[in-house]
Amino acid sequence: MRPGGLRHRPGSGLNGRVLARNALITAAIAAGAAVAVPASGAPTPVPTSGASAGQLTRIVPGITYQVLRRSGPQRLHVVSFTYNALTRMAPAQSSGSLTRRSTLSDGMAARLAQGATAGINGDFFSLTSGTPSGVLAVGPELLASPESTRSSLALGAGGALSVANLSLNARYRKVDPATGAKGPRRLVRAVNRPLASTSTSGVTVYTPAYGGPTPAEPGYEVVVALDGGGAFPVTGVVSGTVIAQRPGGGTPIANGQIVVSGKNLSGVTLFNDFLPGARMEIETSIPGVAPDAWGAIGGGPTLVRNGRAVTSSGESFSTYQRNGRTTRSAVGQKADGTILMVVAEGPQQGVRGYTMSEQARMMASLGVVTGMGLDAGGSSMMAVGPNQVVPNTGSRPIADMLVAYYAGAQLSIPPDNRITPNGDGVNETLTLGAQSPATGTTTVTIARRGGGFSSQLLNRTGDPAYTPITIDPKALGMPEGPYNVTANLTPADGSTPTSQKRIIVVDRTLGGLRVSSSGAKGKRRVTASFALSRPARVTAQVTTASGRVVATMARNKKMARGRSTVTWSPARAGRYYVTVYATSSLGKSGLRDAVRVR
Please give the full DSSP string across 481-550, using - where no structure is assigned. EEEEEEEEEEETTSPPPEEEEEEEEE--SEEEEEEEEE--TTS-EEEEEEEESS-EEEEEEEE-TT--EE
Task: State the average pLDDT over residues 257-274.
Answer: 96
H or E element, residue 143 = strand 141-144
Q: Is 357 left (phi over 0), alpha (psi -120 to 50) or beta?
A: alpha
Sign of the torsion angle spanned by Cα atoms 134, 129, 210, 258:
negative
Residue 362 has pLDDT above 80, yes or no: yes
One DSSP character per residue, 572-586 reads S-EEEEEEEEEEETT
pLDDT at residue number 47: 67
> With the CA atoms of 571, 572, 577 and 579 taken in that order, what torsion angle do they form, in degrees rounded to the nearest 10?
-10
Partner residues linked to 335 by β-bridges? none
Judge residue 562's burial from the number of C-beta atoms within 10 Å of its C-beta, 0-12 exposed, 13-18 middle, 19 or more buried: exposed
Task: Please report the pLDDT score of residue 43 as a whole number.
Answer: 82
Query: What mean pLDDT value characterizes the chain?
Result: 90
DSSP letter (8 states) at residue 35: P
More confidently predicted of 420 and 10: 420
For 21, phi then psi, to 5°, come to -70, -40
CA distance 165 to 541: 53
- Per-residue model confidence (pLDDT) at position 2: 35
Q: Of 35-39, 255-259, 277-281, 534-538, where does mean pLDDT reach its minimum?
A: 35-39
Res 72: pLDDT:
80
Q: Are 240 and 223 in contact (CB under 8 A)?
A: no
- Give the per-residue pLDDT at 13: 29
- What is the rounded average pLDDT of the residues 560-573? 95
Please report which confidence band the pLDDT of residue 48 belongs to, taking 50, 70 and 90 as the band edges. low
pLDDT at 81: 98
- Write b or e for each residue in 446-464: b if 16 or more Cβ atoms lie within 10 A of its Cβ, otherwise e: bebeeeebeeebbeeeeeb
Q: Is the pLDDT of residue 483 over 50?
A: yes
**What is the model's pLDDT at position 23?**
45
Average pLDDT on 211-237 reads: 94
Q: Which CATH architecture has domain 510-597?
A: Sandwich (2.60)
ω into residue 218 within 30 of 0, thus cis?
no
Of 2, 211, 7, residue with least CA distance to 126? 2
pLDDT exceeds cutoff 80 at 130: yes
**Higher-confidence position of 408 and 523:** 408
pLDDT of 41 reads 55
Amino acid at 526: V
Q: Indicate the CATH number of 410-505 among 3.40.50.300, 1.10.940.10, 2.60.40.2550, 3.40.630.30.
A: 2.60.40.2550
Q: CA-to-CA distance for 201 and 216, rounded, in angstroms?
A: 13
Question: Coil, strand, or helix at residue 349?
Answer: helix
HEC profile of 356-401: HHHHHHHHHHCCEEEEEEEEEHHHCCEEECCEECCCCCCCCCECEE
Question: What percentage of residues in the chain have a pLDDT greater than 90?
Answer: 78
Quick one: pLDDT at residue 547?
80
| Most confident stretch, 32-36, 205-209, 522-526 | 205-209
Position 17 scores a pLDDT of 35
Band of the pLDDT at 96, cuts 50, 70, 90?
A: confident
* 69: pLDDT strictly greater than 50: yes
% pLDDT > 70, the chain: 91
- Burial class (CB within 10 angstroms; exposed 0-12, middle 13-18, buried 19+) of 117: buried
Higher model confidence: residue 30 or residue 345?
Answer: 345
Q: C-alpha distances in angstroms, 538 versus 424, 557, 561, 593?
A: 18, 5, 12, 16
pLDDT band at 6 (very low <50, low <70, confident <90, very high): very low
Q: How many beta carbons lie within 10 A of that of residue 428, not counting itself?
A: 15
pLDDT tens digits for range 383-405? 999 999 998 767 899 999 999 99
Q: Distance from first CA to last CA of the chain, Å, rounded? A: 48
Residue 524, pLDDT > 50, answer: yes
Task: Tell me which H or E stretch contains 198.
Answer: none
Lowest mean pLDDT among 309-313, 428-432, 534-538: 309-313
pLDDT band at 50 (very low <50, low <70, confident <90, very high): very low
Predicted confidence at residue 12, as pLDDT, reads 29
**What is the band of 36 on the pLDDT scale with cuts at 50, 70, 90?**
very low
Q: What is the mean predicted confidence (pLDDT) over 250-273?
A: 96
Chain CA centroid to CA 114, Å: 14
Q: How far is residue 174's CA from residue 181's CA, in Å, rounded to a whole number?
A: 8
Query: What average pLDDT does this structure show over 182-197?
Result: 93
Tell me the CA distances in angstroms from 523 to 24, 518, 520, 551, 576, one per residue in order.
32, 8, 5, 16, 17
